[in-house]
Amino acid sequence: MKDESSNVMAFDALYTNNNIQKLKVLLPYIEPSMQKNMAVYIKYMELKYTIDLFKKHPLHICSVKDTPDKPDIKALIKELRVYSSESELRQLEQMESILKAMEMYQEMSQTMNIMQEMFPDMGMGGNDSASMEDMLMGMLSPEQKAMFDAFSSVKSED
């Protein structure tokens, strides 16, 4: 399993050098009154190192080849959790809920399309009370039905 902080660690390793890392190790051992100045100095050194690195080598933060065509939003949310506040965590949870609902909508739509192809006489969405759509919708919880209806109305507006 990929470590959630691996991207952060890779970024930090790329834009620093051993001398800067040594300063970070020494920071807790410096007199408390000097730690703030030392922390600012370390950040200044990292910025200077990064600027110099870009001048010498026009790098990309990540390779386009390594980036998938479709980003894994779930994995991204998982990585962001580590660095998020409580309110940001709630927002991430809402995003996860929306993603799950969208997946459920897509699965239900595909299932209904397959059922319509397999049983064309069972009028999907028609006035037939025994339609396949009614049967499938009966399997959903009230929350799932609400989400399905919400996504159906958005899709029909497009």
Q: In the structure encoding, which two tokens stand for residue 148, read together?
A: 């399905």
Q: Report which DSSP code applies to 130.
A: T
User: How far is 22 from 30, CA to CA, in rounded Å?
Assistant: 12
User: How far is 77 from 90, CA to CA, in rounded Å?
Assistant: 11
Nearest 5°: phi and psi at 66?
-80, -15
Mean pLDDT score of the chain, rounded to an integer? 78
List Cβ neighbours of 144 (8 Å cut-off, separation of 6 or more): 101, 104
**Cα radius of gyration (the chain):** 26
Task: Look up the pTM and report it.
Answer: 0.51
Lowest mean pLDDT among 14-28, 70-84, 88-102, 132-146: 132-146
pLDDT tens digits, 15-43: 888 999 999 999 999 999 999 999 999 99
For residues 93 and 74, the answer to whether their CB atoms sit within 8 Å is no
So where are the chain's domains? 6-56, 73-157
pLDDT tens digits, 115-131: 778 777 665 444 554 46
